[in-house]
Structure 1
């Protein structure tokens, strides 16, 4: 009962903070819109310019940050639970870098990019899936299977390889496409229209519902492989389908938001510290924390500079990189 009250308290506080951040975010930019003007828009009395800025630009961006933050957080939670590695994250398992190569190939090879813009998220998802398969394939050994350390090191090594390939691919890009790719890799949220949100939502809903239906299975991973197998859990099958759902969720998200890392690293570890290891509660708190962190980073970036966009991924990395070092030092 205590944990349930504790979880509810956290969720209420985070939701209130996100509401405040959303109002600040809506009001921040080259065109300032006050809370009273926002209220007028809600009741249908706002000006056309204000309506255009809020409903066509700022509100879709806020929606993307909330959905992507939630998705990356629970994807990271699943990856950490299934691999039993507290340092597992989308950025360390090749998801971001694989999607990055796909984005660069799209910009370099597709000529009529505006007409094929929805092909970009599809290619990014394909790159993320292929990269993750390679990471797990190279991490596997017949005697020991996949160990957390080998998985992490393989992901880092392949990310370095992907970075080298991306440097070579930049030679094929025009200055405009090069700038777009660099912003994407830095985590600049670019898919800020309702069309991209509609494309993201079916994947988000299906994968999220599936992951939440597997909370008891995720709990058994905490008991160790031997105990889980003795309870009748098919570890190999469950691990594959859960990791697959997490990769699809993360791949679709980063294809729209750009290469944002560390959300899936920070939030599950914080949620475990606060709420414990029960996934029915841990996943909820992780997701809401992910939405909060990404919205906070986007709002801070807009407050720092209203004329030029600061990529959200950079601000998240400023917090995430030291936290990764902290976890690394505490991990045996």
Structure 2
């Protein structure tokens, strides 16, 4: 039974985070290389702006803001699932190499196959999912022992090793590619949010609409998996079946996100940890907060990165890493 005081606290935090997200969105709509006056935002939103104002808002700013918010939410949820399933507080799709697997699949397709602009937007999340799934299966298989089950520490070590190996594969792939394609892959690796157009939102949105309710429905099972395998088996849960379905959800969320934002790490590590610190370890309570935290973190990172050295921008992935890497070291030392 969840205490009513804790539920009330969760709702207050959610309201605060929603207010912060709305404030950041409003600030982001007005800031950029081509500035948009804040007193013109509401008229422009309702179709009363000039051609330039509507172009800046609807073709440049809003798609990027929405895709950044959705991507941060998806990465946070993926990290929360991975931490629960693996019982490892350091689990994150970027650290475990899942993002790298998705990136290699996308790079192979982009560099060596003919690309159609119409199909590319919708094919790329599927290709990223295949690459990420292959990587996740490899890491899971190498860190699992029949007698001892899944080994959390070994999982992280193997994941980091796979991530480094896949980074090497990526370098080999781009070493003989065309200059224009190499530039795109380099920006992708840095976490540059390149899929900032409405079709990319439509490509990412179905994954979130499907997998957020699925994860919340499985929250109780995630709680049990986070305790231990004997406890989960003792209450009659099919551990491997639940673990595989949740891992597939985590991989799908990470892959679909990475396919449009590039290699962004640490969101999936930080957001669940901070949410747990606020309302405790129950997945029903902290997952909604982690979703909003992840979206807000990536919004802030992209906003700062786009405007700190105007007109040159710093990729959101680098901005997140500047905060996330020290946080990862802190957790590593603490755990």
Using structure 2 for the length normalisation, give the TM-score: 0.95
Of 172, 176, 191, the match for 1:172? 176
1:272-291 map, 5 Å: 272-291=276-295
Indicate yes or no: 2:310 matched with 1:306. Answer: yes
1:1-332 map, 5 Å: 1-112=4-115, 114=117, 116-118=119-121, 119-331=123-335
CA distance in 1, matches of 2:233, 2:177: 51
CA distance in 1, matches of 2:196, 2:111: 23
The C-alpha deviation readout for 1:64-91, integer Å capped at 9, x for no partner, is: 1111111110110010011100000001
Q: How many residues align?
A: 331
1:124 positional shift: 1.8
The answer (yes or no) to whether the contact 2:305–2:315 under 8 Å persists in 1 is yes
Greater CA deviation, 260-269 or 106-115? 106-115
1:113 positional shift: 5.1
Aligned CA distance change for structure 1 residues 264 and 112 (closer, same or farther; 3 Å): closer
The answer (yes or no) to whether the contact 2:90–2:269 under 8 Å persists in 1 is yes
Aligned CA distance change for structure 1 residues 109 and 231 (closer, same or farther; 3 Å): same
1:116 positional shift: 4.5
Greater CA deviation, 106-115 or 293-302? 106-115
Q: Which runs of 5+ in 1 are unaligned?
A: none
Greater CA deviation, 57-66 or 122-131? 122-131
The C-alpha deviation readout for 1:215-248, integer Å capped at 9, x for no partner, is: 1111112332212211111111111101111111
Q: Which runs of 5+ in 2 are unaligned?
A: none
Q: Secondary structure of 2:227's partner?
A: coil
The answer (yes or no) to whether the contact 2:142–2:158 under 8 Å persists in 1 is yes
CA distance in 2, matches of 1:91, 1:112: 26
CA distance in 2, matches of 1:231, 1:43: 54
The answer (yes or no) to whether the contact 2:75–2:254 under 8 Å persists in 1 is yes
